[in-house]
Every structure is written in C-alpha cells, then in structure tokens.
C-alpha cells in the first residue's frame, strides 16, 4: 500500500512537472507570436509613414480666385412640382394683358 502511495506521488509530481513544461512552452510560443506581430506592426507603421511623407512632398495647385459661373436657368426648374401643377396666372397681369389686347384692337 505504501508503495502504491509513493508511486502515485512520484507519478503525480512528474505529471505536474510535465504540465509546467507544457505551460512554459505555451508562454514561449505566445511570446514568439507577440514578437512576430510587433515586428509586422512596426513594418506596417513605417511603410504608412513613408507613404504619408511621399504624399506631403508633392505640390497641390489651388486656385485662389473665387470663380462664379452664371448659367441661365428656367424658373420652372427651381419650383416644386406642386407649384408647377397649381400655377395660376396673376389676376392683375391677366387684366393688363387683356387691356393691352383691347388697345391693340382699337388702334
């Protein structure tokens, strides 16, 4: 019975030691992966920095004078659809048009 207990303790200690070695291996792998990622990140940041510097070296031509382009536009383009459909002539303008027609007939 004592031999079985001693054997169990020895095997348990070896098993625990093996787990510690596995854990250490995991830590080493993790550190290696972190170092690789850090290196890739540094390369990416450096390439981005170089690209940004290249962009800043170029010249950009900007026109300083404000330019206004006058284009004739129909008033109907600037109106809402409802205004176009419901458009009614002004009564005063209609009366003037009728008066001008009557005057032209008299002459």
Distances (CA, A) of 57 to 43, 49, 52: 21, 13, 9
Answer yes or no: is 23 within a domain: no
Answer yes or no: is 47 within a domain: no
Answer yes or no: is 82 within a domain: yes
Question: How many domains are there within the chain?
Answer: 1
Answer yes or no: is 11 within a domain: no
Task: For residue range 47-103, list pLDDT tens digits in order.
Answer: 888 887 776 656 666 666 666 666 777 777 777 777 666 666 778 888 898 899 888
Residue 62's pLDDT is 61
Answer yes or no: is 91 within a domain: yes
Residue 61's pLDDT is 61
Answer yes or no: is 36 within a domain: no
Q: Which domain holds residue 99?
A: 77-106
As a whole number of angstroms, the distance between CA 67 and CA 64 comes to 9
What is the value of pTM for the model shown? 0.34
Tell which wins on pLDDT, 104 or 56: 104
Answer yes or no: is 35 within a domain: no
Task: For residue range 5-27, list pLDDT tens digits in order.
Answer: 887 777 777 776 666 567 778 88
Answer yes or no: is 96 within a domain: yes
The answer to whether 9 and 16 are in contact (CB under 8 A) is no
């Amino acid at each position: 019975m004592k031999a079985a207990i001693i054997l169990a303790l020895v095997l348990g200690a070896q098993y625990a030691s093996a787990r510690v070695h596995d854990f250490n291996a995991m830590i080493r792998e993790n550190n290696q992966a972190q170092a690789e990622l850090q290196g890739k990140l540094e390369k990416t940041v450096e390439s981005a920095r170089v690209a940004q510097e290249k962009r800043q070296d170029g010249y950009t031509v900007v026109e300083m004078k404000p330019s206004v382009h006058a284009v004739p536009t129909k008033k109907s383009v600037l109106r809402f659809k409802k205004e176009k459909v419901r458009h009614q002539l002004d009564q005063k303008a209609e009366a003037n048009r009728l008066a001008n027609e009557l005057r032209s007939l008299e002459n």
